[in-house]
Chain A
């Protein structure tokens, strides 16, 4: 494992401190909400990155895992009064199982073909939930009001607890991604990304490692889903399973830098404020303007900086050092 430089430790420490202090200084609820979304999409991006950025499996179906997480915990809570924290783990496990079920038959699909399969998967899941009476079909699920407490995963008086919980989730995802990237698994994922042949010739069980990547990714995405359900307190297929969400997750990761640990977080920190700001400035008329800006940025990035914005930082660092 690599040793950290003092600079890296101090930058990380200061950033963390600033994030911890942010909601205490900035008290506008709206800005805190935007930050929560940045963390949440950051986490979804990190989850995508494990399979997409490292293992080269471009998933356009992440919203399905996100939605399955949200639905599992909410369904368990509403029907069986099961605590959402348990629902969080259950949602992760269900999503990971679904990921394995879809990942295994897709083991031989590479590149675009895998991406197409994940679009189909995401849409099948969404349409299924839209018509599934057991989970209220298109009506969605309203999370019942409970007492405000950490144990209940519910807070009414302030967004602060949500802010810190989501920040903690994001950090957890980053730590997992860090350990994956710097372990045998990370090396094998990158070999698989290069080509299945080169991985196999080095003794990598490609099917197994692809399944691990997709399952870890699904678990983390589902955690974010449960968070979303407990935060917004209402879910329906159109709000948690849309293809647009999947696409946004991919864009965030690609813009920030696929295959880097911090890339997706940087991507989320840039793109989400853009969508929120256009929504404020342009209101309903502005629908799609954020996508227009995304498209423009993605074009710029793919032409001039294919490794994403994080790659830009890394390059500057390299030039400075040598």
Chain B
């Protein structure tokens, strides 16, 4: 295997009863890339995330992270190895302050609160939430919650960051901010996999795009290639989008 391959997924399938949420999915992500996973609702994007990060056990297939087989690893162990993620439905600790939330993440790499707090403040400065560090998790707007969730994920000091719809339901300004943040994170040398519905964001930030439909990978390529592919347009973007192209 190539040394710079960050994540490799081979023949991954996940069944829920008779429904194949993921069927025989193959792809790999190189270190330093931003790869977007797109597809209509129910295409299996979140399931794929859950299989990679140990929240689901895939029925078959293999997931390797920098050459290490992590298919059967528990979620906390996957995180320990360096894969952090956010959830489609934003998850923060509501009765902790913003700072405490991020400290909890940082404690994965530190035993003592002091150094973990320093690291957390550094991350909050980076993500632009430092002014709200003493707000409670429950007091934040949805955009800030998403930003906090990204901060918490970064605090675990991952090598691969997986964002599940971090841009859904945001205003245009908020969207811009989070896109800039994602680029900033990549510039720090991190690899990112992003599930996203907002096509303009996908087009702008992605190095590569993977398209899922009904649990199967139907296409993979550069953003430009993907939006001009007939099958993708029919399955996902609809005829209207083709007219725009």
Are A201 and B104 neighbours in the complex by a CB distance under 8 Å? no
CA distance A259 to B93 in the complex (A): 14
Q: How close is A191's CB to chain B, nearest CB, in angstroms?
A: 5
Beyond A1-B113, A201-B153, is A190–B91 a contact (Cβ under 8 Å)?
Answer: no
Are A188 and B91 neighbours in the complex by a CB distance under 8 Å? no
Residue B118 is within 8 A (CB to CB) of chain A in the complex? no
Beyond A187-B107, A195-B91, A201-B87, is A206–B96 a contact (Cβ under 8 Å)?
Answer: no
CA distance A206 to B75 in the complex (A): 10
CA distance A101 to B119 in the complex (A): 37
Question: Using Cβ atoms and an 8 Å threshold, which residues of chain A touch B107?
Answer: 184, 187-188
Are B103 and A202 neighbours in the complex by a CB distance under 8 Å? no
CA distance A47 to B95 in the complex (A): 21
Are A200 and B76 neighbours in the complex by a CB distance under 8 Å? yes
In residues 144-183 of chain A, which contact B (Cβ within 8 Å)? 182-183
Question: Using Cβ atoms and an 8 Å threshold, which residues of chain A touch B59?
Answer: none
Q: How close is A312's CB to chain B, nearest CB, in angstroms?
A: 16
Q: How close is A295's CB to chain B, nearest CB, in angstroms?
A: 26
Beyond A200-B76, A201-B75, A201-B91, is A191–B104 a contact (Cβ under 8 Å)?
Answer: yes
- 8 Å CB contact of A200 from B55, B103, B112: B55
Chain B minimum-CB-distance residue to A182: B113
Are B93 and A194 neighbours in the complex by a CB distance under 8 Å? yes
Residue A203 is within 8 A (CB to CB) of chain B in the complex? yes
Total interface residues on A, using CB and 8 Å?
21
Beyond A182-B113, A190-B96, A194-B93, is A202–B104 a contact (Cβ under 8 Å)?
Answer: yes
Question: Using Cβ atoms and an 8 Å threshold, which residues of chain A touch B110?
Answer: 184
Are B156 and A183 neighbours in the complex by a CB distance under 8 Å? no
- 8 Å CB contact of A202 from B79, B111, B112: B79
CA distance A191 to B94 in the complex (A): 9
Which interface residue of B111, B112, B113, B116 has the most chain A CB atoms within 10 A?
B113
Residue A136 is within 8 A (CB to CB) of chain B in the complex? no
CA distance A189 to B101 in the complex (A): 12
Residue A78 is within 8 A (CB to CB) of chain B in the complex? no
Which interface residue of A184, A202, A206 has the most chain B CB atoms within 10 A?
A202
Chain B minimum-CB-distance residue to A209: B76
Chain B minimum-CB-distance residue to A202: B105
Are A204 and B76 neighbours in the complex by a CB distance under 8 Å? yes
CA distance A190 to B101 in the complex (A): 10
CA distance A2 to B219 in the complex (A): 54
Residue B108 is within 8 A (CB to CB) of chain A in the complex? yes
Are A184 and B111 neighbours in the complex by a CB distance under 8 Å? yes
CA distance A18 to B93 in the complex (A): 38
Binary CB contact string for chain B from 11 to 40 against chain A (1 if under 8 A, 0 otherwise): 000000000000000000000000000000
CB-defined A-B contacts under 8 Å, sample of 12: A1-B114, A188-B104, A190-B95, A197-B87, A198-B93, A199-B76, A200-B74, A201-B84, A202-B104, A202-B155, A203-B108, A206-B76
